[in-house]
Structure 1
Amino acid sequence: MTTTQQQLTPLTLTQLSLHQFTVDLDKPLPVGKLRIAQRSGLVLSAIASNSTRQQQALVEISPLSGLDNQGQALSGFSSESLADVTQQLSTILPQLQQQSIDKLLDFAQESTLPSLAFGLSQLHAKLAGKFDGHAIAPRTIPLIYRHNDEPLSAVSAVSERVASLADNVYAVKVKVAQDALEDEIKLIHQILAIRPNLKLRLDANRGFNLEQAIEFAACLPLASIEYIEEPCQNPDDNQAFYQAIEMPWALDESLNSPDYQFTMQAGLTALIIKPMLIGSIEKLQQLIDTATEHGVRCILSSSLEASLGIEALNRLASIITPDEIPGLDTLAAFSQDLVVSTGKANCLKLADLPLLASTSNS
């Protein structure tokens, strides 16, 4: 057998393990209008080999669902719960044992749980070496938002964060539709007073009705706004918003619907794609190809994953959206890293995590 033939011999899954993690947040992170103070999820580990080599890979699977820090249910994000994913994975793992790694793609295609489909397809990509050679310096758009322990008029605190941005930062993402319109308008102008050359990506999370969205946008310098994500509570109003104010807008939450099909609309300039909420890498690529054909930008964004998931998203973004900087600036609030160190004092390793299920040759 030639070296090329040996390299092409399919890898067989010889050991899989499923672990659960929970990481406390130093500061609650916004999820729409709610906040979370803890992030939980799963780590799926796999070893695969053939006659000449062995590969190991780990992926984070963390649907964005559950309860916020006040006990309210998160809605509009992952439709599946962590328990749903755990149950389905526990069933799948024995069926994957001693199978080709391509079986991961079969299960990813069959799964109705987007986070699981993404995780399985990502695990296949890692084992197949498709993420190799894409270890790049982290790229992200800084996220600006008011911490919930700051006063409503927290312009000065946020301004300090803006002033500390590196000189090579050309754009930031700003959470809006969280507080009073006057405070948020003041905040936008204060950011631009400090860094006039910044371009702003506003994220409303469907927080405005049509009239509020128009009133808010009318008070802002359009030339400084790249786009506003999901400006209206009713997505059907987004085109009317654009016709009134001509501010480019983007879709985010709308993509999470299992029935979503890309349709070009007036003013639509970008899709904010959260892979954990959408599905397999193949599904992501199809969506990106369709949107790109219509001149719509595609920007990968986090679903508040821990460091293992963020590193994977950074690598994936460099492969499927190489011309766009992803929105992955959410790790600062995490008290610990997960498997992949970003320099925090504590990094949870696989051995530190509770084992939920496993398979092996023995």
Structure 2
Amino acid sequence: MGKVVLVTGVARRLGGRFVRRIQREPEVDRVIGVDAVRPEHHLGGADFVQADIRQSTIAKVLAEHAVDTVVHMDITGTALGTRGSRSTVKETNVIGTMQLLGACQKAPAVTRLVVKSSTSVYGSAPRDPAVFSENTPPKSLPSGGFAKDSVEVEGYVRGFARRRPDVAVSVLRFANILGPCADSPLADYFSLPVLPTVFGYDPRLQFVHEDDVMEVLRIACFEARRGTLNSGTFNIAGDGVLLLSQTARRLGRPTVPVLLPAVTWVGSALRSVGMTDFSPEQIRLLTHGRVVETTQMRETLGFQPKYTTADAFADFARSRAPGLIPPQSLARTVDRVADAVSGPRSEERT
């Protein structure tokens, strides 16, 4: 008998794509996609079960189909389309995870759990370390939004791992996911014609390409390395970093620096007109940035991303409408302004 894999959150593009991907695995006998709404995209030969993970019915789904591998991808920062609100998203993230873990605990057939988390659990603060490892505690815990949801979710997952030590549990903390099909608040931000930034700050950012997300999820599900069964918590990000100013240049989008006290007002205005979810946690990210270490990703999971942070961003940028200013012209303009501010070059003064 091959593996029976259940994937949550399949109505979203990323979840649907993963369902289609793992059907090609020879050891997989059956794939079951679960979501509260029917997906608009196809799921290949997978079975779709319309179920809300916030309800206890998810336990019946696990038992009825004798699921042995659970991939929990229904943890997100935004509502799907026009459905739901921030409270609905939080309930799905936190209450839904609690119900799913409770169902997994009672399902003896379950032997592997993979959870899609986020590097947002580290928060973004002015006194953060230059690089976060999986064991680095955050200087300031996230106080709300998706980041706080992710912290709570990981807490429940650790509790489950203690209660079911026979289950191999992997938590994948993804950096901001980008690519042609990226659907996230940060992708919406980068799609704005003009990018509001925090005056005086140029944060370091990391990205992971959606193709690499598919591959590392597959590895976490099916490939054991050095007898570890890939259990543990892993940071997942592409090599290198980009400054926010560099992303703006590569998009060809001008920036509008805003004083920090006024940023919250700008974020509320953008949310009110539905342009982007410019949440407080995103404002902190665009102020202080965040960079994580990925040694465990390579040494324990044995995963080497195909895309660097710069590559992932470049592929995302190609999928978006061109900016107001050609990137080359914008770069030259910024360089001229920088020269004017700094004064004549040293060789000119001599």
Give the alignment's TM-score, normalised by structure 2. Answer: 0.30
Flag the structure with higher helix content. Answer: 2
Instruction: Please give the TM-score of this superposition, normalised by the length of structure 1.
Output: 0.29
- Ranked by relative contact order (alpha carbons within 8 Å, sequence separation 6 or more), the top structure is 1
